[in-house]
Amino acid sequence: MYLTIKLDEDNMLISFCSLSPKELPVEEQQLELPPVGFTILPGWKEMGNYQLKRIEYDQSIVSLNFLIDINTSQLSSALLLSYLKTTAEILDSARVKYARSSDIDEAINKNFITNIMPNAKPPTQTETGLITKALTYPKLPFVRIPGSLRKDSSVEMFHILSSNESAYGKAVGIVDTSAEECLSWAYHICSFERMAENVISNGNLLRAAKPIPDSRSIVFSAGIKMPTGVNNRVFHSWFAWDRVKNYNGNEALILAFAPTEQYDQTLLPSTPSFPNQSETIIGKSYGIFIFESLAPRVTRMAFIQQVNMGGSIPVFLLNSLIPYASSIVQQMVDRFKRRGKEVDFEIRVSFISKINTVPALTDDQQRLVERCKTLEDVKHGEFAEIESSSHRIKYYQKHDTSDATRDIAIGKAITEIDESAQTVLA
């Protein structure tokens, strides 16, 4: 028998229990006789309930609780366990039937960008300290990773190798979406999309994130599957975000992270427990995501990370983890990829809009400009027109022989373009 009860606007309860033959309606009490040679054995009694709780984005949390009153002589432990699992499969069936993971992820991102970010409280002193420290990482002496330039990828990769501390990895790429969209994707590290991807690489190891109330922070715990013979690792990290008005002349969004031990422990949620916890080694990770807005829907993304894996791991294995920085940037580049012509046009429009607001040239930049402007002012000889392949373009050449030891050739081309100087410059 099932009984549905509405507890309040957000909670419902469906209760159920077994009935004895005598409790059935009269019309249901007449049971068909079994075929010859078969016997009907008495079943067992069970009772329980489904608890349904409405949560954000039209989702529900469903809990199944039930009790079985059974004589172990009727059913072995193995068969009992199988029955329990089979009974609970209804939850998975409902989850699959109503699955709309992409819609939920999109709704969460939209809410974060349109509601949470504009109304967020100012960063706390602790959050500001984390972000300020992380903004020093791009100034470190990175060098390009040998052989990292590839025709099939536009992501640039750099590293810092050291015998005294953990290596740093850095990756930079252009993402064809807004800085806000990039931040939201990185910040929601346990979205349905990224949880599914994590199962492929790390199985069902721990992956959980909890927001810290009244802050711009989350606490993130992640298990990392290591090669055979090496203990798995787990990282407990604190993430915080902020907006920087001027980063390389552009507005940028910052997401910095460090081990949770650097946050006020009294404000942190408890660290989640997980299977094989005693055999898992705790690692530490420091880093920063920088989402620099080049245009409303074009972002230069930089990701820098230093990882201390804990325990004893060969140096070659530690260094092999550096390309992870590239993989997460490449993932975002691929996910938001748009037509190149559209992206180029948007960058040009954004560049033109900033021409009248750019800061003054530095002394070095001014000297370079003045030096280039003297190219036409060569004392010895005049420009002579040379043959051109187009009637709309004129080519000229002259030689600077003021230095007797060398002959410097200077070329010039002139044409008319049917567009504004600002557009041509962009």
Q: Looking at residue 208, which CATH number applies to its domain?
A: 3.30.530.20
Beta bridge pairs of residue 411: 397
In the prediction, which pLDDT does 347 show? Answer: 85
What angle (nearest 5°) sits at the alpha carbon of residue 222, between those of residues 217 and 226?
150
Domain span including residue 408: 363-425
Q: Is the pLDDT of residue 128 over 60?
A: yes
Dihedral over Cα of 76, 78, 83, 84: its sign: positive
Are residues 220 and 312 both part of a single domain?
yes
Residue in the block written with tokens 């606490």:
219
The CA distances from residue 102 to 58, 181, 218, 297, in Å, are 13, 15, 22, 21
Dihedral over Cα of 354, 359, 365, 370: its sign: positive
Task: List the 2-8 sheet strands across, edge first.
Answer: 2-8, 11-17, 45-55, 59-69
- Give 70's contacts (C-beta < 8 A, 6+ positions apart): 44, 45, 80
Q: How far apart are CA 156 and CA 326, in angstroms?
A: 8
Secondary structure class of 215 (helix, strand, coil): coil
> Is 371 part of any domain?
yes
Using 50, 70 and 90 to split pLDDT, how confident is the model at 385? confident
Token code pair at residue 380: 């010895």
* 288-324 confidence digits (pLDDT tens): 999 999 999 999 999 999 988 887 766 666 666 666 6
Q: How many separate domains does the chain show?
A: 3
* 162-190 confidence digits (pLDDT tens): 766 678 899 999 999 999 999 999 999 99
What angle (nearest 5°) sits at the alpha carbon of residue 193, between those of residues 288 and 255?
15
> Is 117 part of any domain?
no
First to last CA, the chain: 73
Are residues 59 and 163 both part of a single domain?
no
Are residues 338 and 192 both part of a single domain?
yes
Are residues 329 and 383 both part of a single domain?
no
> Is 118 part of any domain?
no
User: How many C-beta atoms lie closer than 10 Å to residue 181's C-beta?
Assistant: 22
Using 50, 70 and 90 to split pLDDT, how confident is the model at 113? very high
HEC assignment per residue over 115-129? HHCCCCCCCCHHHHH
Residues in the chain: 426
State which amino acid sits at residue 422.
Answer: Q
The residue that leads in pLDDT, 341 or 185, is 185
The pTM assigned to this predicted structure is: 0.81
Using 50, 70 and 90 to split pLDDT, how confident is the model at 238? very high
How many H-runs (helices) and E-runs (strands) does the chain carry? 10, 16
Are residues 259 and 369 both part of a single domain?
no
